[in-house]
Amino acid sequence: MTDSAIQKAASELPEPPETLLTPAAIQRVREGVEIARAPIVRKFIDQDLKELSAIADGTADHRVSGRFRRWVMRRFIKTFFRVRIENTQYIPTEPNVLAANHLGHVDPFLILAFVPPHPYYYILGDARTLYNKCWKRWLVGWAGGVIPLERWWKEEIAVMAAAETGRDDLKDLATEIKHDVPNGSSIHQMRQIDQAVQALLARGDGIMLFPEGRLGHQEAQMQFPLKRGTVIYAMRSGVPITPVFIIGTQDLYWRKRLTLRFGPPVHLPQQQRPKRLDIDAALEQVEQAFKELMPSDYQEPQGPKLFRYWLNHLFW
């Protein structure tokens, strides 16, 4: 990616790059670079990409029973948290693109624990955060159903932008990011993912994704505009988009109540090659659907927050 492209990416961040560069964020970037370098992480990503090729070719891919996967995920989540499901009448039972806001790395596991086993959902998510810990590699690798996205994080973009504008202390780290972290611009990989998504939806499965494209930074809020891929996948496949708003997962602690609030499906006109104006209009519909689900009076619960540090780092 060129320097001008980095500046463009920085301009699209939800906040100025300098506000992202806290000591904790810079440390997270250093850890992210090490994750990208780790051979075991690369091994799992390559395995998942091979699975995508199998899906696109119409051959069977590795995955466990949807019912068993849900049972395991539900036991796992209920060990730590209390969960409330709202608007259960909108929980989908047919192929769909399930789109959610994204507050923390527990989000995909939370959703999988409480949606039906059919359709079988494939997670379209950040490769490094799916495979950055041993227990995640075991759980996700065992269950299957992962579509890995390789891309730069918002903090990494902020580091590179700052290095170009005078932060000499970040230049070495910026060089490491450019050299060792895939930026998500591979045309082959993007085509591979697109073909796999279309094949999955055509055979009756579902796709779970987070259309903000990054972690949110505030409970009960969502970062707009959303990424266009959500509506493109749905329009090409002729399946509805199911919005679900997640509440409570930005800050985790023992027995905290987490909420999944489902919304009515958004039906879009099917188009094999959606036009830009139609995509933009569809995206407005989806954004409006999320705005109607956003809580207007959210307050973080008071009281003791047991195992807060441990749980937040467990699901990082």
* Distance (Å, whole) CA 131 – CA 135: 9
What's the CATH superfamily of 65-150+186-314? Glycerol-3-phosphate (1)-acyltransferase (3.40.1130.10)
E strand spans, 177-227: 206-209
pLDDT at 55 over 90: no
pLDDT of residue 183: 87
Q: CA Rg, the chain, in Å?
A: 19
Q: What is the DSSP letter of 125?
A: E
Q: Are 256 and 308 in contact (CB under 8 A)?
A: no
pLDDT of residue 59: 79
What is the residue extent of each domain of the chain? 1-37+151-185, 65-150+186-314
pLDDT of residue 6: 74
Task: Give burial (CB, 10 Å; 0-12/13-18/19+) of 68.
Answer: exposed
pLDDT in tens, 63-106: 899 999 999 999 999 999 999 999 999 999 999 999 999 999 99
Report the pLDDT averaged over residues 131-136.
Answer: 91
- What does the mean pLDDT of the chain come to? 91
Closest CA to 212 of 226, 230, 198, 233: 226
pLDDT of residue 62: 79
At 8, the pLDDT band (50, 70, 90 cuts) reads low
The tokens describing 296, both together, are 């207007």
Share of the chain above pLDDT 90, in %: 70
Cα-Cα-Cα-Cα torsion 219, 246, 185, 159, nearest 10 degrees, comes to: 20
pLDDT in tens, 274-292: 999 999 999 999 999 999 9
HSE-up (13 A, CA, CB side) for residue 57: 9
